[in-house]
Structure 1
C-alpha cells in the first residue's frame, strides 16, 4: 500500500525507522546494510559527529563519491543536531572553497585526492578536514550510539548549494520538515513499496538525487547508489540488482535508450522519473519501447521548494509537453503580471506555496527577499512562497505548461549553470577582457554551453591557453562546448553587451 500522506513532519533521522529489521536498505560495493544495520550505523555516526562538533546547528560538509558515509550523513548529521552541507563531487577547488567559506563549515570530509586538490586558503582556519576512512574509524573507536532525535521539525537540517543566474552558488536552507515531507510526498505519488529497488545515479548533493534516498527509505525500500562512468554501467546495475525505479535527466535518458538492453535488465522496471528538463515525444516513445512495464513520471521542481509538479503517467502520451499538477503538500499558483490569479491559458509566474518551501538562502537576506515573498492572498497555505521566475500557463483542464525562464540560467545535461560564474572564471584567467556564456539549444544536452569572448590585446596565445585554464578551474559539466572569439561585442542601446544579438548570431 502507498505511503500515507501524513502532513505531520518528524525529525529527519526518523526516516530510517520505516523498514523491517531484516530488509535490505542500502547496497554497497562490498556489502548490504539491512534496516537494522542502517539504524545502528546512523546512531554510531551521529554520536561521533556530536562529539567532534558539539555546537548545535554547526555545518558539516561532505565532498565525496556515493558510498556508506555520503548516504548516511544526511540522517546522522540531523540526529546529532547538525546541518549537512553536501558538495557535488564534480565541483573543483574554487567552488568548494566558496561553499566552505560561505557555509561556515566546521568539518570537511572527503577522500585523499580531493583534499589534496585544495590549495592554501581554500579551507577556512575554523574548518577541520578529514578523510572518509578516518571518519569511520574514529566513529567506530568511539563506539557510542545516539538514539533517534526529538528535534523540532522546523529546525535547519541541510544547506544545498545551487547555481543562481548571477554569481557563485547560493545555499538553500532546508528544514527537517522540508526534507521529511518531500520524502513522504514523492514516496506516495510514485507508489513506492518495501519491495522496490531504487538505483541512485544522481548526485546526492542534488535535491532530486537526495530525495531518491530519503523517499525510498520512507517506503522501507532498498537503495543502490551508483557512480557510473558509462550508460553500460547503469544497465549492468539494473540487471544485477533487479532495479524497479530509475530517475534521470533527459541527456542520460537519451544515452540509455541508445543502448541494447537485455530483457532481464529492463523487465523489472516499474517506474521511470524525469526532472531537470522536459522529455520529448520521441524520447517518451523510446523509453516505452525499452521499458515496456514501467510508468513514466515527468516532474518539475526547483531546489528552493524541492519539487512542484508531476504528470500522471496515464496522461504522458496525451499531454507529453505538460508539467502536470502540484505534488502532494504543494500549492502551485500562476500569477499574472497584474498580481492576480491567471485565467486559463494566460501566462504568468509559477508561485509555489506550502510546507515544502525552503527557509531561504543562507546568510543572504537580499536574495532571499527577492525570491521568498509572502504568498498571494488567494493561497490556501499562506505564509512564505517561492516566486520561481519561471513563466507557465495553466490549461482549462488544470494541467500546467512551461513557457520559459525569466532569468538567463543555462540548463545543460540536467545541471543549472550560472552564466556569470563561468564568465567570471574566463575573465579571471587574464586572457579575455569580455566573456558571455549562453545556452544554445542542443538535442542531446538540452542546452550546450557556448562561450563568446574578446581577448586581451597583446597576450600570448589566448586561444590555445584558455581551454586548459577553464578545465583546471571549472567542473566538467560547466566546460563550454564551443568558444567563439570576437574582436568586438555587440552592444544594446544602454551600452551593455547585447546577449540577444549574440544568441541570434550563434543560432542563425
Structure 2
C-alpha cells in the first residue's frame, strides 16, 4: 500500500485512535473504528460490482455521515470518486455522467427522484432503503461483513471534480491520491492543526476545499463535525454545541452568517474554543474580517487563494489580514509563484501580469479536455527568462493560472482579474455562456441576451441578464424557466429588458457587454 493515499490515513487512524470520535453530526457520531468498519463494508460492496478498474462513481446527495462513508469507501477502491453537488439540476448531472462515463451513483432518498429523471443505466445505491430494487447502505451494513483489504497507488487518479468552464459545460479536473495527501499535509502544517481539533464540516464536499476538511481530519486524527446550514443561528449553535475549534468557510458563508442583527448573536465568550478560521473561494471584505474578529475573538483568520488546476497557491498570514486585507498573501510551502508579462519576463513591482504556479499541489489535468490542458498546463520553459533551466530540463509542468495579479514591494500578491469572463459568485465559478445557452434553448421569445457580472460585496459578483425581445417578458417568467435548468447559484439576480442590445463594432454578432455593464453601473 502506498503511503500517499487516503486509505493509508484511514487505516493508521483506526489503529492508533480506534475509540476517538471521527465524525459527529447532530446526535450521531462514529469513532474511527466504526468509520473504518462502515467504509470497508461499502468498499467491499463496490468491488463486488465487478466494474472495470478506474471506473467513475458519483456521489450525489445531501450532507450526512453516510455521505462521508461513501466518499471514503470509493477512495478505498481502485475506482475514481466524482462528487456531485446537490445544487445541480438533473440535466447538469446527466452531462457529467456522460462526460466521464459514471458507472455507479450513490445517493439519498431525496436525490433518488432526480436520478430517476435521468436516462442512467448504471448502478444506483441509496443510503436509506428505497425499494424499487435499489440496494441501500442499510442492507450493505447488515450483510457485508467479510474482511476487506486493498492496495492503492498514490499515483492513481482519485477524484474528478467539476466546475463550469468557458464553453458553458462543466470541466472535470483530475486529482491523484498523492495530491489529496499533499494538500492535507500542507494545510495541516501552516494552519497548525492538532489531534484535539474539532473541524467544522460546513462546506459542501463537491470541490477540493470542502473535501480537504475530511482529509485534514484523517491526517491529524482530529474530529470532523458535519453541519448543514439553514439559518445563521443554526451555525452558531453548531460551533458552540460541537465545541468547534477550526472553521473553514467561503466568503458567501460569512455574508450569510453575519447577515442579521448583531445584537442577536451569542456572546463572544461562547466561542473561545475557536482558534482558526479559514476562507477561500472569493474575496474577503473588511466587514467580514471585522465581524469575525468581534465574534471569534481568539481565532486566527487565514485568507487563502487557490486555483482550479492546483490545490492552493497563496495564503495571507493572520498578522497581515487587517493590515493588507485586499492581498491574497504569499505562496504556501512548496510553491513558487511568478508574475509574468506577455514577453515571459518577470513583472516589476505593482505591474500586472499572469500568475504562474510552480511546485507542489498541481493536479493531473482536465478530463477529456486537451485544449484546456494546453491552455493551462505549460512547460516550465515559459519561465526561462526568470529561472535557471540549465541542462534543458523542461519536462516540468507549471500552471498558467489565467489569474492576473501584481506583487507589492514586500512580496505580497494582489488579485486583479481573470483572463476569461468567468463569474465568481457565492464561492462558485459560473460561465455566462451556460446561462445564455439555457435562455436560447428554452425561452424562444428572447431575441438576444447577454450575461455578465457586476460587483457585489456580499457575494463577490452579482449575475446580470440583459435581453432583447419584441415585448417585455416578466422577470418572474424568465427566472421560473431558468430555475428548471440551472443550479440556484447560477440564477441572475438582475434581469433587464432592452429593445435592442449594443454590438461590438468589430463583430456585429457579439453583444457589447462592456457597454451594458457601464450603463448599469455608471
Under a length normalisation based on structure 1, what TM-score does the superposition of the two structures give?
Answer: 0.93
Pair 1:34-2:31 in alignment: yes
Pair 1:480-2:475 in alignment: no
- SS of 1:422 mapped into structure 2: helix
The equivalent residue for 2:304 is 299
The equivalent residue for 1:358 is 363
Contact 2:77 2:152 (8 Å CA) reproduced: no
Pair 1:505-2:519 in alignment: yes
The change in CA–CA distance for 1:20 and 1:282 in structure 2 (over 3 A counts) is same
The equivalent residue for 1:92 is 89
For residues 379 and 178 of structure 1, the distance between their equivalents in structure 2, rounded to whole angstroms, comes to 26
Contact 1:111 1:132 (8 Å CA) reproduced: yes
The equivalent residue for 2:125 is 130
For residues 464 and 418 of structure 1, the distance between their equivalents in structure 2, rounded to whole angstroms, comes to 22
For residues 521 and 156 of structure 2, the distance between their equivalents in structure 1, rounded to whole angstroms, comes to 47
Pair 1:78-2:78 in alignment: no
Pair 1:337-2:342 in alignment: yes
For residues 53 and 161 of structure 1, the distance between their equivalents in structure 2, rounded to whole angstroms, comes to 26
Deviation per CA, 1:40-89: give whole Å up to 9, x if none: 22222211111114321000001101112321333321221110000001
The change in CA–CA distance for 1:382 and 1:72 in structure 2 (over 3 A counts) is farther
For residues 476 and 190 of structure 2, the distance between their equivalents in structure 1, rounded to whole angstroms, comes to 51
For residues 78-227 of structure 1, the aligned pairs below 5 Å read 78-118=75-115, 122-125=118-121, 127-133=122-128, 134-140=135-141, 141-147=143-149, 149-227=150-228
Q: Relative to structure 2, which stretch is displaced further, 26-35 or 209-218?
A: 26-35
Deviation per CA, 1:318-353: give whole Å up to 9, x if none: 222111111123222222221122233222111112
- SS of 1:73 mapped into structure 2: helix
Which consecutive unaligned segments of at least 5 residues does structure 2 have? 129-134
The change in CA–CA distance for 1:50 and 1:355 in structure 2 (over 3 A counts) is farther
For residues 288 and 59 of structure 2, the distance between their equivalents in structure 1, rounded to whole angstroms, comes to 35
What is the CA distance between 1:145 and its match in structure 2?
3.4
Task: Please tell me the root mean square deviation across aligned C-alpha atoms, in Å.
Answer: 2.0
The change in CA–CA distance for 1:499 and 1:118 in structure 2 (over 3 A counts) is same
Q: Relative to structure 2, which stretch is displaced further, 135-144 or 382-391?
A: 135-144
The equivalent residue for 2:448 is 434
The equivalent residue for 2:257 is 256
Residue of 384, 387, 411 corresponding to 1:398: 411
For residues 246 and 153 of structure 1, the distance between their equivalents in structure 2, rounded to whole angstroms, comes to 28
- SS of 1:96 mapped into structure 2: helix
Deviation per CA, 1:143-202: give whole Å up to 9, x if none: 23323x432211100100011133111100000011110111111111111111111111
The equivalent residue for 1:3 is none
For residues 117 and 290 of structure 1, the distance between their equivalents in structure 2, rounded to whole angstroms, comes to 39
The equivalent residue for 1:389 is 402
Which consecutive unaligned segments of at least 5 residues does structure 1 have? 1-7
Aligned residues: 496
Contact 1:40 1:145 (8 Å CA) reproduced: no
What is the CA distance between 1:34 and its match in structure 2?
1.3
Contact 2:105 2:123 (8 Å CA) reproduced: yes
The equivalent residue for 2:328 is 323
The change in CA–CA distance for 1:58 and 1:406 in structure 2 (over 3 A counts) is same
The equivalent residue for 1:48 is 45
For residues 20 and 116 of structure 1, the distance between their equivalents in structure 2, rounded to whole angstroms, comes to 39
Deviation per CA, 1:408-444: give whole Å up to 9, x if none: 1111121111111111111111232322111111122
Aligned structure 1 segments of 4 or more residues deviating by more than 6 angstroms: 379-382
For residues 287 and 308 of structure 2, the distance between their equivalents in structure 1, rounded to whole angstroms, comes to 28
Residue of 30, 54, 59 corresponding to 2:56: 59
For residues 56 and 31 of structure 1, the distance between their equivalents in structure 2, rounded to whole angstroms, comes to 34
The equivalent residue for 2:481 is 469
Contact 2:244 2:274 (8 Å CA) reproduced: yes
Residue of 403, 418, 421 corresponding to 1:408: 421
For residues 30 and 103 of structure 1, the distance between their equivalents in structure 2, rounded to whole angstroms, comes to 37
What is the CA distance between 1:374 and its match in structure 2?
1.4
Under a length normalisation based on structure 2, what TM-score does the superposition of the two structures give?
Answer: 0.90
- SS of 1:439 mapped into structure 2: strand
